[in-house]
Chains A and B, each alone.
Chain A
Amino acid sequence: MVDPRSPRFAAAITTLVLVAVLLTGGGWLALAQTLVFALGALNLRYAPYSALYRWLVAPRLAAPAEREPAAPVRFAQAVGMVFAAVSAAGYLLGVEWLGIAGAGFALAATFLNAAFGFCLGCELYLLLRRTATARAGQS
């Protein structure tokens, strides 16, 4: 269970990074963000922006009123990682539209989370499960 302000803080920083990626066409920056997402998807303790929150911001705030489960946050990190990886590959291999598309989708999801508390897992996870099992011919 995590302090819900930590993922929102991380999402705000990520939004800025992804805007920078789009503004600069930075493939290496996109790759760096891919790694940041990957760490978070693995374990939120390793997520760099969350660590920043714990170190800089949390000590200045009162304890959170409630906590939220980590699984949905890690899922969102995993989805972000996929889009950021596509973007990095696009920019670094010279396929610019792919770089833009990947970073664009990652930015949309991250910004929605930061500004609206949008839960990507709530929207996407069941959809993915339905599609996966339908394709496998199960019910």
Chain B
Amino acid sequence: MAALVVLLLATGFGLWRRRRDGVLSAVITGHTPSTTADVADPVAPHRDLFARLGALPDAGLCLVQFSTTICAACRPTRLLCAELAADLPGVRHVDIDAEVHLDAVRQLDVWRTPTLLIVDAAGRILHRGAGLPSRDHLRGVVTEALAATR
């Protein structure tokens, strides 16, 4: 019966998605998925873009969030990131309206919202993930990345 097939497939997808949602993965340098990367700087091809967006930290890290108005998970993510930025010195947070910055969305391969990028002062993307992260997971990843910048 079609209903059963749909429910089974949806359950499978839901479980798979739940495992990956909100998980920030390390970005392997030299493997950036962008199509318009600055070839002169393969390690941090998006540095200028982040600078233009106001998402390049002077030192430490910037939590770069992409959101839209049609996104239930974006507000809690924003609150979580703002809380961390206030709590941890050297961590900034920037929430970018994906609809207004579609060029950045394309360059950075953003498909879902919220998408979170952890960017260092050199403009490198250290970690990225989509979906609302858990407080502990985000704090752990950020703390570790922050320690590595020192």
Contacts and interface: CB of A to CB of B under 8 A. Distances in A.
A75 interface: yes
Interface stretch (B1-9, B44-52, B57-65, B81-89): B1-9
A69 interface: yes
Interface string B1-33: 111001101110110011000000000000000
Nearest to B3: A22
Contacts, number: 95
Given A72-B72, A116-B18, A121-B71, A127 B111 contact: yes
Q: Which of A107, A111, A115, A133 has the most CB of B within 10 A?
A: A111
Contacts of B102: 129-130, 133, 138-139
Interface of B: 1-3, 6-7, 9-11, 13-14, 17-18, 66, 68-75, 98-99, 102-103, 105-106, 110-114, 131
A71 interface: yes
B71 A111 contact: no
Contacts of A19: 3, 7
Q: Which of B11, B113, B114 has the most CB of A within 10 A?
A: B113
Interface residues of A, number: 32
Q: Per DSSP, are chain A's interface residues mostly helix, strand or loop, or mixed?
A: helix
A112 B71 contact: no
Contacts of A42: none
A72 B6 contact: no
A74 to B, nearest CB: 9
8 contacts: A75-B70, A108-B13, A111-B6, A112-B13, A112-B14, A126-B99, A126-B105, A139-B102
Q: Which of B13, B69, B71, B74 has the most CB of A within 10 A?
A: B71
A126 B72 contact: no
Interface of A: 18-19, 22-23, 68-69, 71-73, 75, 100, 103-104, 107-108, 111-112, 115-116, 118-119, 121-123, 125-127, 129-130, 133, 138-139
Given A23-B3, A108-B9, A126 B14 contact: no
Given A22-B1, A22-B3, A118-B14, 11 more contacts: A69-B72, A72-B70, A75-B70, A107-B7, A119-B72, A121-B68, A122-B114, A122-B131, A126-B99, A129-B99, A130-B106
